[in-house]
Chain A
Amino acid sequence: MTIDSGKIKELESRVGVEEKPLVYEIEKGMIKRFARAIGDPNPLWQNEEYGVKAGYGGIIASLNFVLTLGFGKILQDLISDPEITVLHGSTELENYKEIRPGDVITVTNKIRNIRERQGSTGKMLFVTIEMVYKNQKKELVAECRQMTIIY
């Protein structure tokens, strides 16, 4: 149940290296399913007509939607070993632009830094991943740092 030195070395070698970009085509169903999973009844994420009246031209994605684009995949690529525990430490999001159906969002990511600490059962890693999200017009949609705790 601990992370070995080989895996630590491999992760450290990836610090600062930009991974292959991930591309997501945003569909209405994704946005609605996401709002339903939160149990968020705000019509901005669900009701086309309401979104038009509110000046958004239709539904838009709720605030936290962008944080899930690519994150699960990025974590899986980082740690695929079921014996290793991955917990979430912190999130920092800067939000610039709404995401709407039809957008194609490109997520670029890299490990920003890794801190190592000796825990009671072995080594713990604090891995901070940096993500940049752009839409099909190359507009910056959001930027984010996610810190995960791996042991």
Chain B
Amino acid sequence: MAVGKQLYYEDVVEGSNITQLIKQPTTTQLVMWAGASGDYNAIHYDKDYALKQGLPGVIVHGQLAGAFLGQMLTDWVGDKGNISKLSLSYKGKNFPGEALTCQGKVIKKYIEENQHLVTLRIWAENPGEEKTLTGTAVVRLPSKSDT
């Protein structure tokens, strides 16, 4: 969603896909993430160590891929929406240099205790169309009926 443009509960259609986000993680980004997140597991920046651990090379932090899905969600809900719940399953490894396509689909919309909520299925796909990260989210949106 473009900055300043707001999504409302009434705009959401069950079964529709949300705007996808394509990310291109690089090894530089993995180092930036290690620093910013405090996750210093060497499988994310030390190739020799990663190989010794039986990995084909350094891998993208699961939580960084999760943050890409977070970016997609916060873009979609706009400034007045927010994310109440986020569940993520790290299904496969992602590698720097490979694009990750973040996607989401609206499962249902409902009103609970006066809150306008939307449940989404979310996932990230590698270039082989393998869903390496899957999850669900519950987001809260403003309603056009709010005064």
Contact = CB atoms under 8 A, between A and B. Distances in A.
Contacts of B74: 40, 42, 44, 62-63
A17 interface: no
Contacts of A93: 85-87
A95 B83 contact: yes
Contacts of B61: 88
Interface residues of B, number: 41
B71 A89 contact: no
Given A63-B73, A87-B90, A94 B38 contact: no
Contacts of B90: 87-91
B33 A37 contact: yes
Contacts of A126: none
Interface in B33-84: 33, 35-43, 49, 53-54, 61-64, 66-68, 70-71, 73-75, 79-80, 82-84
Contacts of A33: 32, 35-36
Given A1-B53, A63-B73, A63-B74, A94 B85 contact: yes
Given A40-B71, A54-B79, A34 B37 contact: yes
Contact of A37 (B35, B40, B42, B83): B35
23 contacts: A1-B53, A34-B37, A38-B70, A39-B29, A39-B71, A40-B71, A63-B70, A63-B86, A64-B70, A67-B66, A68-B63, A71-B63, A72-B37, A75-B39, A76-B40, A85-B43, A85-B53, A89-B90, A90-B87, A90-B89, A91-B87, A91-B88, A92-B86
Given A37-B32, A54-B79, 7 more contacts: A1-B53, A30-B36, A44-B79, A63-B74, A91-B66, A92-B87, A93-B87
Interface of B: 3, 23, 29, 32-33, 35-43, 49, 53-54, 61-64, 66-68, 70-71, 73-75, 79-80, 82-90, 135
Interface of A: 1, 30, 33-34, 36-40, 42-44, 54-55, 62-64, 67-68, 71-73, 75-76, 82, 85-95, 98
